[in-house]
């Protein structure tokens, strides 16, 4: 199995432009939440009064993947995605039109943000080469936010030694 650091480094190679990373900080959570919203309405079955939806099954499977990769990041993802499940369930209880419009609008909006970022990067999204990138994206965003506040500096250094450092943006001169 590919290790946590290998997954993160491979994903990071597609994301070295700070504008792309910034768009991902917004776009990835929006996309993830939209998918949770869209998968939260269909009830497959009920266990002890708890509706088992495709979103719940996706949560369990993705948490197994994340926890197996890295316990600390897996627990962080469980909290974040658990909150997403909670709020998505509320949206799923709204009218069919409101639920569907909310889920689709978030999904499309999130992808627009993502593709703007990849325009700046000049590279295709990581999932084009490896669908696992769809699961690594949320981990990457979480890590980038934690790096920004000064946490996990050794992990950041390890990723950057493999993927390269984040490009510095230099302001372009204004021609008068």
pTM, 2 dp: 0.89
Say how many residues make up the chain: 176
Please tell me whether residue 46 adopts helix, strand or coil conformation: strand
| Cα gap 151→114, rounded to integer Å | 25
Q: Which residue has the tokens 């999204």?
A: 125
Tens of pLDDT along the chain (176 residues) come to 789 999 999 888 888 888 888 999 999 999 999 999 999 999 999 999 989 999 999 999 999 999 999 999 999 999 999 999 999 999 999 999 999 999 999 999 999 999 898 888 777 777 777 778 789 999 999 999 999 999 999 999 999 999 888 887 655 555 65
Q: Which residue has the tokens 């990849």?
A: 118
| Cα gap 66→64, rounded to integer Å | 6
């Amino acid at each position: 199995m590919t290790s946590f650091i290998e997954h993160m480094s491979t994903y990071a190679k597609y994301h070295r432009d700070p504008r792309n990373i910034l768009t991902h900080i917004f776009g990835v959570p929006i996309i993830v939440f939209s998918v949770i919203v869209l998968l939260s309405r269909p009830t497959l079955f009920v266990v002890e009064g708890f509706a088992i939806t495709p979103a719940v099954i996706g949560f369990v499977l993705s948490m197994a993947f994340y926890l197996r990769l890295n316990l600390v990041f897996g627990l962080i993802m469980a909290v974040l995605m658990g909150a997403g499940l909670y709020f998505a369930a509320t949206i799923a209880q709204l009218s069919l039109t409101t639920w569907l419009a909310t889920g689709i609008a978030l999904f499309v909006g999130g992808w627009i943000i993502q593709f703007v970022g990849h325009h700046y990067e000049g590279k295709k999204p990581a999932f084009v080469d490896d669908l696992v990138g769809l699961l690594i994206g949320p981990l990457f965003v979480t890590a980038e936010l934690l790096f920004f506040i000064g946490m996990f500096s050794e992990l950041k250094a390890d990723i950057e030694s493999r993927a390269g450092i984040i490009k510095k943006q230099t302001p372009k001169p204004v021609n008068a």
